[in-house]
Structure 1
Amino acid sequence: MLYGLYIVTLHKETHFHLNRFYLLFSYIISLLIPLINIPVNNADKEATFFAVLETVQITSQSAFAIEKYAFINHYVIVFYLIGMSVFLMRFISEIISLIFIHRQCSIEANNQLNIALSKKQIAPFSFFKTIYIDKKTINEESQEKIIMHETIHVRQWHTIDVVFAELICVLNWFNPFCWKMKVALKETHEYLADLGVSEQTPEYAEYFMLLFRNAIGVQPGFANNLNKSLTLKRLIMMKKTRSSKLSKMKVLLAFPIVIVLFIAFSCNKNADKLKSQYSSNVISEKKETVNNTSNNDSKLSAKSNDDKTFISIEKMPEYPNGYNALIDYLSKNIQYPEEAKEKGIEGKVFVNFTVTKTGKIKNVTIKEKGNSLFDAEAIRVVSKMPNWIPGLNKGTPVDVEMTLPIVFKLS
């Protein structure tokens, strides 16, 4: 969204410093948004505790399904790591390439900068405080303009921008907008350097002929170089009438987008964490075999709505006769809807219910409504569950809101 706003409002404007700031701001905000959580005030709601039931697997087919999904999830992670490794190696290879270029250069100091004169043919570029030039093909007159161009890159610390963008792209190699933003950022750097040179050298034609003459050569991909994205639009941008100060106000459009993104990610953060903990509970036509693969002795966590922090409950609510009895109750009582079977429909239901201080079941609802047939069946069975043994916190019975994920799957 932030990159789209840039394309629509800013990339054709001549506010190059603002464009640079906006692109860097977009990178940083994109990293921060998933990490920020805006608490929702539930002060009016009586404090209850929240917990997700452990995994229930019914029928042998369900165990296979769980293993299948676990394999797919593992495959996705491996695929991501392979991709990241490839692009990380690419980044490292560019650093090694720069080291080789640097070693065969003779270094000269020039006004707090280093001028590296290469013995091999390279396209002029800069990296931090060093400017690399091919001393064989550049005469004194052109060298002055090239150094002028690259000095602007150095003085404005463009290398830091590019290295930062490269690392973001390594981590988000699968996201095309990260790469597009990196290209836009490098392009903006060139506009800034071209603008600086044009203010000191009004001969546009001569300056761009210089660019074309020195367009051939080797340089690391992450370095700032004279001829990056050498296109006609650079000349057009140099000759373009400067944008009005009022057009800078377009950047304010980013703030509503950032606020919406913050709220959207924050509101879904707890839900995403909850869903990541859900295990598939498969209710099939064949219920003779029950496979319970959960660890019933593991310590459960709960969440108190009054203070929004995870705490350990002294004793969680317990179904009469234990967890296996709960599995047995579900497998015997949940019926696959006939209409759904005839139509070959499968689905997933998240049932919320509260185990009160007295052990009664109340407030049976569907967290995320899906197929009405499955919703109705899940509510019917959960509502008829016998009283549970209530949960305890510091020796006192407490209300605990439970979530039971159920997957309806045809055998």
Structure 2
Amino acid sequence: MMIILKIILGSSMLLAVYYVLLQKEKIYRFNRFYLMFSILFSYAVPFISIQSENLKPSNRIQTTVETTQQVLDITKVQENFNLINWLWIIYGTITLIFLIKLIHSFLAIKKMKGKRIKYHNQNILITKEHTSPFSFWNTIYLGENYLIDSKIDPRIFLHEKSHLEQKHSVDVIIIEILKAFTWFNPSIFFYRKAIITNHEFLADESVLKNDFNIKDYQNLILDEIILNQNYNLTHTFNFNNTKKRFIMMNTKKSKMTIIKKVISIPVLLIAFGLFVQKTYAGNVESAAKTFPEMPEKDSENKAENFAEEHIKSSAKDSSTVEKTKDNPANNFLPSGKMSLEKEKSTDKSSEIQPKIDSNLQSTTTVAEYPGGQNELRNKVASLFDASKITHGKEQKMMKTDITYTVDENGRVTNINPAGNNKTFNDEAVSAFKKANENVVWKPAEKDGKAVPYGMKMSLTMSFE
């Protein structure tokens, strides 16, 4: 979800720069490069990871990640789709519709019949129908009524030839594919419109460089406007955004052109810094590896015994790490010994006897993370970015309990934090989700059948 948000924000920011600074400037080739590079750049940056130098914290931070505790009852298997399933169905349906439209447009062009000729070294398909001139890939398509005395109006020919020579179809195909798979990004539709409009500016420029009269050329375009067909992938001579085209034909180059070009480049660097994934050089990876290993609970223990043990003794396996002034706020360095504490039992006569659910009594195994609970704890610790956490002078400790469910397919769902600090909660959930990306747990089993299982992880950060 964070990657999707970065893509939307990054592409929108770079597109806004185009509309504010570059759209009205007569720098069509630069604009083409900027539009194509910025959309591809904004999609790629969130997947790029860079290492940053460690920052020195202003105070001492101690973070404790407690062992995952299987303290919640096994829930009943639900047959209904959850929200994620429905979102995937909606996404897949809309994506399929866009892909079908894209393929239909491509096939419609390829199925067009007519006489193929070579005209000034360009491939031309002459149709018997009254087809308005358009170009796609390496061919110009037009009706036979445009071939007069074996000649094509040079203005129409130069316009469409420009599209072919500058490979505008490549840009359109790329943007259509991105639109099909990332239709949820509103900026992609504005990118498509801006890119195709800029293609028309380039083609018009190629015509007018040959000293044709601007008024006559504009009248030719207006005569063709009534013929309207659209194959999505094509560049039609009568492209209907005529107002902008006519304005740009009469626009002179601005004295601010170079300055605007120079301004637009640093924006790409700013976007890179904002939306790239940041990791910190130093001891993050080694810290995760040097966490003291905790004894794993026997996966064959019955849930009845486990529930009794939890209620009576509430054992806590914890790995304590300390960040000193010489280490970055998000590095987890081992400090001191692992502590394993048990609460003192009260008088047996006053003990609350656990009520064991019948589901728990018949359960034979609990859900297991690949590599064990130590592996999960270490990953969460290494991914937790403590530099994002701010606290008041009087605040000595932050704590959150993450409850979650491992479903019958071994996927983690229903992740919910319970703590007083929203920033701390959000970062804890973020680290937990990253630790479970593309991870399949061994699900809990009841009577030999996989079932959902509720679990909890506690994270504590203290300040000195």
Name the TM tier (shorter chain).
0.5 to 0.7
With over 3 angstroms needed to count, the CA separation of the structure-2 counterparts of 1:50 and 1:352, relative to structure 1, is closer
SS at match of 2:248: helix
Question: Do the aligned residues in 2 keep the contact of 1:124 with 1:219 (CA within 8 Å)?
Answer: no
SS at match of 1:228: coil
Deviations 1:191-221 (A, max 9, x none): 0111111121432222122222223143421
Q: Deviation of residue 123 (structure 1)?
A: 1.9
Q: Distance in 1 between matches of 2:34 and 2:273?
A: 21
With over 3 angstroms needed to count, the CA separation of the structure-2 counterparts of 1:55 and 1:118, relative to structure 1, is farther
Q: Which residue of the other structure, out of 268, 283, 296, is the alignment partner of 1:306?
A: 283
SS at match of 2:88: helix
What residue is the counterpart of 1:206 in the other structure?
A: 216
1:130 aligns with 2:139: yes
With over 3 angstroms needed to count, the CA separation of the structure-2 counterparts of 1:25 and 1:50, relative to structure 1, is farther
What residue is the counterpart of 1:404 in the other structure?
A: 457
Question: Do the aligned residues in 1 keep the contact of 2:146 with 2:152 (CA within 8 Å)?
Answer: no
Which moved further from structure 2: 355-364 or 257-266? 355-364
Q: Distance in 1 between matches of 2:114 and 2:286?
A: 59
What residue is the counterpart of 2:338 in the other structure?
A: 359
SS at match of 2:140: strand
Amino acid at match of 2:338: G
What residue is the counterpart of 1:27 in the other structure?
A: 39
TM-score by length of 2: 0.58
With over 3 angstroms needed to count, the CA separation of the structure-2 counterparts of 1:329 and 1:202, relative to structure 1, is farther
TM-score by length of 1: 0.65
Question: Do the aligned residues in 1 keep the contact of 2:28 with 2:202 (CA within 8 Å)?
Answer: yes
With over 3 angstroms needed to count, the CA separation of the structure-2 counterparts of 1:43 and 1:240, relative to structure 1, is closer
Question: Do the aligned residues in 1 keep the contact of 2:25 with 2:254 (CA within 8 Å)?
Answer: yes
Amino acid at match of 1:225: T
Q: Which residue of the other structure, out of 13, 27, 32, is the alignment partner of 1:15?
A: 27
What residue is the counterpart of 2:370 in the other structure?
A: none
With over 3 angstroms needed to count, the CA separation of the structure-2 counterparts of 1:111 and 1:42, relative to structure 1, is same
With over 3 angstroms needed to count, the CA separation of the structure-2 counterparts of 1:88 and 1:57, relative to structure 1, is farther
With over 3 angstroms needed to count, the CA separation of the structure-2 counterparts of 1:72 and 1:209, relative to structure 1, is same
Deviations 1:109-132 (A, max 9, x none): 123310111112222111122111
With over 3 angstroms needed to count, the CA separation of the structure-2 counterparts of 1:239 and 1:43, relative to structure 1, is closer
Which moved further from structure 2: 319-328 or 161-170? 319-328
Q: Distance in 2 between matches of 1:374 and 1:326?
A: 29
Question: Do the aligned residues in 1 keep the contact of 2:400 with 2:419 (CA within 8 Å)?
Answer: no
What residue is the counterpart of 2:420 in the other structure?
A: 374
SS at match of 2:145: coil
With over 3 angstroms needed to count, the CA separation of the structure-2 counterparts of 1:219 and 1:115, relative to structure 1, is farther
Question: Do the aligned residues in 2 keep the contact of 1:107 with 1:117 (CA within 8 Å)?
Answer: yes
With over 3 angstroms needed to count, the CA separation of the structure-2 counterparts of 1:373 and 1:192, relative to structure 1, is closer
SS at match of 1:206: helix
Q: Distance in 2 between matches of 1:38 and 1:4?
A: 26
Amino acid at match of 1:11: Q
SS at match of 2:111: helix
What residue is the counterpart of 2:442 in the other structure?
A: none
1:58 aligns with 2:72: yes
Question: Do the aligned residues in 2 keep the contact of 1:15 with 1:243 (CA within 8 Å)?
Answer: no
What residue is the counterpart of 2:293 in the other structure?
A: 316
Unaligned runs of 5+ in 2: 1-12, 322-333, 342-395, 402-415, 426-455, 460-464
Deviations 1:252-284 (A, max 9, x none): 3334433333333334689xxxxxxxxxxxxxx
With over 3 angstroms needed to count, the CA separation of the structure-2 counterparts of 1:67 and 1:8, relative to structure 1, is farther
What residue is the counterpart of 1:266 in the other structure?
A: 276
Q: Deviation of residue 164 (structure 1)?
A: 1.1
Unaligned runs of 5+ in 1: 271-303, 335-350, 380-402, 407-411
SS at match of 1:107: strand
With over 3 angstroms needed to count, the CA separation of the structure-2 counterparts of 1:17 and 1:52, relative to structure 1, is farther
Q: Deviation of residue 374 (structure 1)?
A: 3.5
Query: What is the RMSD of the two structures over their aligned residues, measured on CA atoms?
Result: 4.5
1:144 aligns with 2:154: yes
Q: Distance in 2 between matches of 1:182 and 1:309?
A: 46
SS at match of 1:84: helix
Question: Do the aligned residues in 2 keep the contact of 1:37 with 1:266 (CA within 8 Å)?
Answer: yes
Report 1:167-178 matches (<5 A): 167-178=177-188
Question: Do the aligned residues in 1 keep the contact of 2:99 with 2:180 (CA within 8 Å)?
Answer: yes
Question: Do the aligned residues in 2 keep the contact of 1:319 with 1:326 (CA within 8 Å)?
Answer: no
1:185 aligns with 2:162: no
What residue is the counterpart of 2:51 in the other structure?
A: 39
What residue is the counterpart of 2:99 in the other structure?
A: 88
Q: Distance in 2 between matches of 1:11 and 1:42?
A: 41
Q: Which residue of the other structure, out of 160, 166, 174, is the alignment partner of 1:164?
A: 174
What residue is the counterpart of 2:254 in the other structure?
A: 243
Question: Do the aligned residues in 2 keep the contact of 1:123 with 1:219 (CA within 8 Å)?
Answer: no
Q: Distance in 2 between matches of 1:52 and 1:227?
A: 67
Give the number of the structure whose residues are more often helix, by fraction: 1
With over 3 angstroms needed to count, the CA separation of the structure-2 counterparts of 1:253 and 1:319, relative to structure 1, is farther
Amino acid at match of 1:5: V
Which moved further from structure 2: 314-323 or 174-183? 314-323
Q: Distance in 2 between matches of 1:69 and 1:353?
A: 41
Task: State how many pairs are aligned.
Answer: 325
Q: Distance in 1 between matches of 2:29 and 2:234?
A: 19
1:79 aligns with 2:90: yes
What residue is the counterpart of 2:115 in the other structure?
A: 106
SS at match of 1:165: helix
Q: Deviation of residue 330 (structure 1)?
A: 7.6
Amino acid at match of 1:27: I
What residue is the counterpart of 1:197 in the other structure?
A: 207
What residue is the counterpart of 2:325 in the other structure?
A: none
With over 3 angstroms needed to count, the CA separation of the structure-2 counterparts of 1:218 and 1:52, relative to structure 1, is farther
With over 3 angstroms needed to count, the CA separation of the structure-2 counterparts of 1:265 and 1:130, relative to structure 1, is same
